[in-house]
Amino acid sequence: MDLPEGLDWVRASPAGRAWLTTLPTWLAECTERWSLRLGPPFRYAYASLALPADLPDGTAAVLKLQYPDEDSRHEADALAHWDGDGAIRLLAHDPERRALLVERCQPGTPLHELPMDRALDAVTVLLPRLWRPAGAPFTPLAEEAAGWIDRMPRNWERAGRPYERRLLDATLALLTDLTSSQGEQVLVNQDLHAGNVLAADREPWLAIDPKPLTGEREFSIVPMVRGRELGHSPAAVRHRLDRLSAELGLDRERARGWTIGHTLAWSIADDVVFTHQIEVVRWLLDEG
């Protein structure tokens, strides 16, 4: 298959190679089941094989075959819960194949094409629409954070201690405190960065590719605060934290704590260390 470069990492593990062997069959089966006319894969896809698709009635869609990770397990449930309000619509779902048929954003321009403050203007309008009360089947943020607390020391050791012990200790303390003192639980998205908000003809901006949890609202701005898409510097990160916290009525210190916790938890994946994530943690821990 003509796989996008973004999926090269999948070949490094037995599970990834096993998934790749199933893709041609699943792709053919989904194409036949939904009577799709497919285009070439999107080259930027990282956690799924995603292809533009046209339905028999001319509807423009995207077919996604997800890599079977836990973070995106309930993507279809989140899209169904939002039902097109602030996010792309789910058109069909095949849980066995981890296949989703979703609305295609056109023109599909990513939010990070805007200057940072104009992008943040859009985020402050979009996010409150996504804060819907939710329960099962979504994983609670408290449960997810408990897993980060458990795994982070082992991952740090296994990766050769790629950052200072003080970052690990401070982050574990923050997560422990935040987890037990949350506010109202709503649907939040671990991956709502400026590359996962696209311009559409139905609405100015729609969220795509959610990795959903249920947790307090302060957690929901974490990907926008830390993401490199709108600028990677201490000033840019703090500006996003300040603006989004103030304009969305969020507790800045809790949002800062969640950003530190989630960013360090996601700074090591298998044998890969994401140094830009570690930089964000340093910048926010050292601001006070």
CA–CA distance, 211 with 190 (Å, rounded to integer): 5
CA–CA distance, 204 with 280 (Å, rounded to integer): 29
Tell me if residue 221 falls in helix, strand or coil: helix
- DSSP letter for each residue of 75-95: HHHHHHHHTTSSBPPEEEEEG
Judge whether 55 and 97 are in contact, CB under 8 Å.
no
- 191 an active-site residue? yes
Judge whether 105 and 71 are in contact, CB under 8 Å.
no
Range 72-86 burial, b when 16+ CB lie within 10 A, else e: bbbbbbbbebbeeeb
**Opening angle at CA 95, ends 91 and 96, nearest 5:** 135
Which sign, positive or negative, has the C-alpha torsion 253, 256, 262, 264?
A: negative
Which member of 71, 117, 191, 209 is catalytic?
Answer: 191
Alpha carbon 254 to its chain's center:
19
CA–CA distance, 250 with 112 (Å, rounded to integer): 23
Residues 6+ apart with CB under 8 A from 147: none
C-alpha torsion 188→194→199→204, nearest 10: 60
Instruction: Fill in the DSSP letter of residue 105.
Output: P
Positions annotated as catalytic residues are: 191
